[in-house]
């Protein structure tokens, strides 16, 4: 069944989720808490997805394939979220 799921995000350098295979990223927001939303097939088998967070001015990894997802503002700080692609 297709539905939209919300995943709360902790501000950390990287995180991994086990989410339904083929989940489509929709958006990310920090109001009232940092979270990401995905359109998922809740019957699909799970897959591991990896995400990376960089603060403005922080050094980025250059040797990995990253896809930009969005920028959020949290307590006066700015964070940029990417998905690490295989």
Would you call 1 helix, strand, or coil by DSSP?
coil
Tokens at residue 4, please? Answer: 């939209």
Q: What's the confidence (pLDDT) of residue 38?
A: 98
Per-residue pLDDT of the chain in tens (86 residues, 90 and over written 9) = 999 999 998 888 889 999 999 999 999 998 888 899 999 999 999 999 999 999 999 888 776 799 999 999 988 889 999 999 87
Length of the chain: 86
Q: What's the confidence (pLDDT) of residue 63?
A: 65
DSSP assignment of 22-79 equals TPEEEEEE-SSS-EEEEEEETTSPEEEEEEEEEETTSPPPSSS-EEEEEEEEETTEEE
Cα–Cα distance for residue pair 20/3, rounded to 1 Å: 11
Q: What's the confidence (pLDDT) of residue 74?
A: 85
Whether the ω angle into residue 21 lies within 30 degrees of 0, i.e. cis, is: no
Q: What's the confidence (pLDDT) of residue 3?
A: 97
- φ, ψ of residue 52 in degrees (nearest 5): -130, 140
């Amino acid at each position: 069944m297709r539905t939209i799921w919300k995943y709360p995000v902790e501000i950390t350098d990287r995180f991994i989720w086990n989410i339904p295979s083929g989940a489509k990223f929709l958006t990310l927001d920090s109001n009232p808490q940092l979270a990401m939303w995905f359109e998922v097939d809740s019957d699909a088998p799970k897959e591991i997805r990896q995400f990376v967070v960089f603060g403005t001015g922080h050094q980025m990894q250059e040797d990995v394939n990253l896809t930009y997802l969005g920028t959020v503002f949290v307590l006066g700080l700015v964070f940029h979220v990417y998905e690490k692609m295989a």
